[in-house]
Amino acid sequence: MSRFRRRLDSRLKKSCPHPRKSTFCGVILLAVGVILLWYFLYYRCPFGKSCGPGEKCLSFTRWCDGVKDCSNGADESQCFRLQGIDFLLQGYSSDDNAWLPVCAENWNDNYGSTVCVQMGYDSKFYESSSQVNFKASAPAGFLKLKSGSSSESPIQTQLMHSPECSVRAVKLHCIECGKSFAAPSGRVVGGYEAVKGAWPWQVSLQVYHQHVCGGTIVSSYWILTAAHCFQTLSDPQLWTVTYGDVQLSKMPTRMPTERIVRHQKFDPKTNDFDIALLKLSKPIIFKQRTVRPLCLPNVELHMNNSKDAWVTGWGQLYASGPSPDKLHQAQVTVYVRELCNHRYVLNGRVTDTMFCAGKMRGGVDTCQGDSGGPLVFNSGNVWWLIGITSWGFGCGLKTKPGMYSNVSYFREWIQKQMQDEWQTEL
C-alpha cells in the first residue's frame, strides 16, 4: 500500500504545477487520504478483528460475547478449540485477545456437551469431559466458570479470566475418534492390501455404484474429501458414500449425500484450497471395529516432518494401471515445504494450503482414484487426519512426491461449516 500511495501522490504533484490549482488539488489529496484511511480501517482492522473480506471490523471485546455482530456469524463461531494430543480445551478471551485453557473447576459433562455442539458436533455422539494436567505455566491465566453458570446458555458468556486454577484444566472429547484395531506398524517399500478394521474411517465416494474418490469420516454426518472430485459432477444427488469394509464389492452400507460444500477459494488450475465436505442425509452408525471417525488435527499438534505417515485408497496401483477391489495402504514420508518447492522437485508449486509426501526415491505414492482419501499419522496412541490426497505428477516417480491438502490449515474452515449446519438445524 505504501508504494501505491507514493505513486499516487507523485501523479497528483505532476497534475498541480501551478499555484492556481492548489485548492483543487488539496481537495483531491484530502479525498485520497480519506479513502486510504477507510481502506486501512476497513480491511486491516488495526483495533480489533475483521468479520471477513468486505465485512465490518469489530473491537476485540465484541468477539465471543454471545451476540452475533458479524453477518456471517464469525464473531461467535470460533470461541473454542482443542489443543495438542491431550485435547486441552481452550476458550477465546476477548478481554485478553488470547486463547486460554479452561479451568475444570465446576465443570461437568453438560458444559462439555454444550461446547461440542457449539463446535459443530452432534450431542448424541458426545464422548467425555475430564481433567488434564496443564504442562505449560499458563502465564496469561485461565478461563473459569462464573458462579451460577448454566450449560443451557452460551458458555463463552459464562467464563471469566482467572490468574490461577485450583484444579486441572478441561480435557474434552467431542467424539471418540482415531481408534484403529488393526493398523500396520512396519515399513514397506510399496503399497499393500489393508486388513478389515485397520482404517475404519475410510469411505468410497461413488457415482452410479462406481468408485470415483476417497473420503474420511470426521463425524456422524460429515465426510472430508477433495474439492476437485466435484468439478464436473457437482450434484449431490449423484453421489453416494459407501463404507464398512476394505473390499468395494462387499461394502455393507451405502449412504446418499445431502450437500457438497467445496471451499470457495478452490482453484482448479493450481489445486489450491482443494478441500470439500459432504453432508450425509442420515447419520452414520458407528461400529466398534469397522466404522469409526478419524480425529481432525488439534491446534499445536506437532508432527516431525520426517516422520512416516500412511495413505490409503482404492486408486490405480500404478499410472494407467488397474484399480484394486481391496483397499491398499502405503507408508510415506512428509517433507518440509522448502524441499518440496525445490526446482528439481515441484518447482515452487506447493502453497501454504498443501504439503508433499511420498518417497523421493519413487515407488510409493497415491494415484488416480485415491483423490480425497486420507493421509494419517499416529501420535499419543491416536490417529490424526493431516492430509487429503490432492494431485501429483504421475504416480510414484522419482523426486515427484504426491501433493496433499493441509488439513491443519483448514481447521477453522471445517469447524465453521459444521457449526453453520448445526446452528441452522437448532
With 0-12 / 13-18 / 19 or more C-beta atoms within 10 angstroms meaning exposed / middle / buried, residue 117 is middle
CA–CA separation, 228 and 306 (whole Å): 28
Catalytic residue, candidates 211, 228, 263, 328: 228
Alpha-helical segments (H) within 291-367: 337-340
* Given the residues 113, 180, 219, 371, the one annotated as active site: 371
Among 40, 120, 102, 31, smallest CA distance to 411 is for 120
Residue type, 100: L
| CA of residue 266 relative to chain centroid, distance | 14
Contact 296, 414 (CB under 8 A): yes
User: Do the beta carbons of residue 190 and residue 364 sit within 8 Å?
Assistant: yes
Residue 90 is inside which H or E element, if any?
A: strand 88-93
Q: Residue 40 has which C-alpha cell?
A: 486501512
Distance CA 6, CA 207 (A): 56
Residue pointed to by grid coordinates 455442539: 117
Which candidate, 223, 228, 201, places its Cα nearest to that of 389?
Answer: 228
Angle, CA 188 vertex, CA 185 and CA 193 arms, to 5°:
80
Helix (H) or strand (E) holding 416: helix 411-425
Sole residue written with cell 458407528: 286
Is residue 122 annotated as a catalytic residue, yes or no? no
Residue type, 298: N
Q: Which residue from 286, 165, 161 is spatially nearest to 219, judged by alpha carbons?
A: 286
Smallest Cα–Cα separation from 175: which of 143, 201, 213? 201
Residues 6 or more apart in contact with residue 150 via CB below 8 angstroms:
158
- What distance in Å separates the CA atoms of residue 188 and residue 358, rounded to the nearest whole number? 12
Asked if 65 is an active-site residue, the reply is no
- The helix (run of H) or strand (run of E) holding residue 82 is strand 80-83
Q: Is there a contact between 88 and 299 (Cβ–Cβ < 8 Å)?
A: no
Q: How many CB atoms lie within 10 A of CB 353?
A: 22
Cell 482404492, located at residue: 314
Q: Name the catalytic one among 75, 122, 245, 274.
A: 274
Q: What are the catalytic residues?
A: 228, 274, 371
